[in-house]
Structure 1
């Protein structure tokens, strides 16, 4: 395996993540799910879990990790009575196509740079596919067929890279003994995402959130402030999780090497900026 700084692999993932992540916020997706008769968050759970087949709620709870189980059970398996997983995957890809076409100017969509970004991301994703062990959501997604058009190849590759990293992140969190809601509270305590956004989008009540805060305070990981921050022990644990996550993600990006990762950051960054500028990452669209 080529030597690669974990920080560069993280930068490559983070830079390209909006290309995939927009599918959870784009109206092109929400409108299609609503047209099927899916309510509230059902479209999210069904579209992301569809690669696993018509699984039950417990499988989704296990693989998604930090969502309130009650929120999952309200959506799964009821979603499969509305739409088959294969059809859901087709609709999600159709939504990604429509959203990226709206976000990207025609010159960018058909540019050699976007095609090169797609080739680099696909190479990383295919390298990741050699390491499916312990990564159920990634492994299921990696078995899906590749689309043909470069912008969809880039989207699908980033989907794979997101789930590859995500499964590794869950593994690292499990080693700390943290529950899903506790992991969210610690994330909020870093200040990178507002606590209310994480609590609301994952379906946790204020009482459940406050209870998790108190457990983490008792464990010495959060301070006593009104807006809980990480203690030294909390920062140490959080850093340990992020470092292990970076190391577990390396097999995907090592094949690109330092120059290839830097090039992916440069090229994918242009598409990500277009996604941002088109307003495809509007968190207010999530109930």
Structure 2
């Protein structure tokens, strides 16, 4: 089947359709009890261990580097201790179980084996397999790409979403490094877009108020943001240009795997995913519908 060449916008469309399928594995209510059953004690441990487990029992330095804008001290608080409680393969089995249970609950037993899920899974898998041929310089993605594929359609869809999400994420970090954007500048400028609160980013990434205050001051000094009386950051023209460049560069670094499905395949994937995303949103499991992840 011949495919039309996908554009960077197509890559963003496909990612936007798939991202919400992966993300709930870290905060869906199935997660707490399942991770606790293998000894992982708190949400930070769930997140750092389950997301980094495909790379093996790596140390905190490797995890902090791969995750980029998280406080390395927050990582060291749980890694490598998590590996003494549960081996990476045990963590991954728990994560798959969380994803399976969450999707069955939210989408319903009939939907998980439906023709739309099967078609979406096949399209996403095709793109993800193409991505697996391009692992260079993408360590977190490469770890995930080395995992075995599940059999059930809804889990194939989840795994493909995970692979394409991490492929894009590693590319985004490459764009940040290439542009000379520090982890703290990335967080502050993200909050300054108005799409997410700085307080959420600070807490979720494990930074103290003092750390974040210093980060805001640094971004102001570099001309990326200004602040109001409440110290809420807003982008300057320089900051907007930087953010626009980063998004465009991330899109361009993410587009290659989608050549396997073409622009129309990306659009079809988004069409198929629409009702499932609405179901996730109704459950408060779609990014942007919760205050915490």
TM-score norm. by structure 1 comes to 0.96
1:195 aligns with 2:160: no
In 1, distance between residues paired with 2:48 and 2:128? Answer: 22
The equivalences for 1:36-115 within 5 A come to 36-40=38-42, 41-115=44-118
Look up the SS of the partner of 2:58 in the other structure.
coil
Look up the SS of the partner of 2:147 in the other structure.
coil
* Cα pair 1:122 1:154 within 8 Å, conserved: yes
* Cα pair 2:11 2:255 within 8 Å, conserved: yes
Per mean C-alpha deviation after superposition, the further-off stretch among 260-269 and 160-169 is 260-269
Q: How many residues align?
A: 286
In 1, distance between residues paired with 2:121 and 2:274? Answer: 12
Equivalent residue number for residue 29 of structure 1: 31
Cα deviation for residue 2 of structure 1 reads 5.2
Deviation digits for residues 164-203 of structure 1 (CA, Å, limit 9, x no counterpart): 0000000000112222122111111101111111111001
Look up the SS of the partner of 2:149 in the other structure.
coil
* Cα pair 1:102 1:278 within 8 Å, conserved: no
Instruction: Name stretches of at least 5 consecutive residues in structure 1 with no aligned partner.
Output: none
Per mean C-alpha deviation after superposition, the further-off stretch among 156-165 and 169-178 is 169-178
In 2, distance between residues paired with 1:36 and 1:107? Answer: 30
1:207 aligns with 2:210: yes
TM-score norm. by structure 2 comes to 0.94
The equivalences for 1:129-168 within 5 A come to 129-168=132-171
Deviation digits for residues 17-61 of structure 1 (CA, Å, limit 9, x no counterpart): 110011111111122112223222101111010000010000001
Cα deviation for residue 280 of structure 1 reads 2.8
**Cα-Cα RMSD:** 1.4
Per mean C-alpha deviation after superposition, the further-off stretch among 66-75 and 172-181 is 172-181
In 2, distance between residues paired with 1:26 and 1:277? Answer: 13
For residue 240 of structure 1, the aligned residue among 233, 241, 245 is: 245
1:182 aligns with 2:177: no
Cα deviation for residue 210 of structure 1 reads 1.0
Look up the SS of the partner of 2:255 in the other structure.
helix
Look up the SS of the partner of 1:14 in the other structure.
helix
Cα deviation for residue 131 of structure 1 reads 0.7
1:274 aligns with 2:276: no
In 2, distance between residues paired with 1:130 and 1:246? Answer: 18
For residue 10 of structure 2, the aligned residue among 8, 11, 14 is: 8
